[in-house]
Structure 1
Amino acid sequence: MRLTDRTLNRLPKPVAEALRKNRETVKFIIVGGFCYVVSLVANYALRLTVFESKPVTALTIANVIATVVSYFLNREWSFRTRGGRRRHHEMLLYTVANGIGVAVNSAPLWIAQYVFGLHYPNISHAVEEISDFVFGMIIGVALAMVFRLWAYRVWVFPHDDVRPAPKRYEVPPQPAPADSTGG
């Protein structure tokens, strides 16, 4: 039995059924959570080193890194039965959708920095960090996630059940123990 099924079997039945019904979306969210951590780490690694004064650039590069990781995880896990396009066409559409996704993700931070002026010296360094996190890593990520889920289903992996899903292995029932009394 796969890890996903073992995990779902431990949940209350209504919750497990709802998650199984929306399995693709749940997997997309799990991949997104992992890639969120990738982008968070990359963003702050860049912001604290080479792009200290360029938070939008750091966030954009971090999102590009997370997008590459996301493609492989989504292609082979979240949307593994979907497709319908040649691999190079699919990758091109994925790149375009994620280019738009990176712009959607970066837009709230850009607006905060350059329209609202939420940067030093207009505000303190601490408030700037909080603002950058909220606009870039929360609002931007949420907007981009909704856009990407829609774009993947409609453009990138448009047809369901075109690639075979791996077979599910059921645990065979265990035979009852033999009566040791001989009788």
Structure 2
Amino acid sequence: MTVVESVLSHTPEPLRSVLIKHRELLKFGIVGGTTFVVDNGIWYLLKLGVLEDKPTTAKAIAVIIATIVSYILNREWSFRTRGGRERHHEAALFFVISGLAVVVNLIPLYASRYVLHLEVPNVSRFVQETADFVSGSIIGMLLAMVFRFWGFKKWVFPDELGQRRRDVTRSSTDA
């Protein structure tokens, strides 16, 4: 029994049906939560250390690392029954969509720091850090997540190509 099946077996029926119907979105959300921790852990490690004066650069590095983790988890778990392209083509599309999502993610942080000037000495360190977290880790990440989910389903892991991958998975489990 897989982890998902185990969790679903303990979930009350009305909710279980909704979770099964939106299984990809649920898995995508779990991957997103995991990469949220990776992203913020690396971002704060860099931002409070070697890249203290460059929070946007630190965020970009953190997002790129989290994106690599995201590709592996999404390909092998969230969208494993979709896709079917050659791996290098799929990976290229994934990173193009994710690259655009990095820009989407950085826009609120950039606006907070450099348009609204929510940075020391204009505001206190607490206000700066709160504004960075809200703009970079909540607003930016949510906007990027919506963009990624849409882009991944539409171009990277389209369902019409998924039949090939499902057939390969079935034939390898039958052997």
Give the TM-score normalised by structure 2: 0.92
Alpha-carbon RMSD across the aligned residues, in angstroms, is: 1.2
- Unmatched segments (≥5 aa) in structure 2: 171-175
Q: Report the CA distance between 1:164 and its aligned residue.
A: 2.0
Partner of 1:8: 8
* Secondary structure at 1:123 match in 2: coil
- C-alpha distance in structure 2 between counterparts of 1:161 and 1:46, whole Å: 42
* Secondary structure at 2:158 match in 1: coil
Q: Report the CA distance between 1:65 and its aligned residue.
A: 0.4
Partner of 1:161: 163
1:68 corresponds to which letter in structure 2? I
* Secondary structure at 2:153 match in 1: helix
Question: Residues 1-183 of structure 1: matches in 2 within 5 Å?
Answer: 1-159=1-159, 160-164=162-166
Q: Which has the higher helix share?
A: 2
Give the total of aligned pairs: 167
- C-alpha distance in structure 2 between counterparts of 1:48 and 1:162, whole Å: 47
- C-alpha distance in structure 2 between counterparts of 1:90 and 1:73, whole Å: 14
- Unmatched segments (≥5 aa) in structure 1: 168-183
- C-alpha distance in structure 1 between counterparts of 2:49 and 2:163, whole Å: 45
**Identity among equivalent pairs (%):** 51
2:47 corresponds to which letter in structure 1? R
After superposition, give the CA deviation of every residue in 1:103-124 in whole Å (9 maximum; x if it has no partner). 1111100011111111111111
Which ranges of 4 or more aligned residues in structure 1 deviate by more than 6 Å?
Answer: none
| Bigger radius of gyration among the two | 1
Q: Report the CA distance between 1:161 and its aligned residue.
A: 3.2
Give the TM-score normalised by structure 1: 0.88
- C-alpha distance in structure 2 between counterparts of 1:164 and 1:155, whole Å: 18
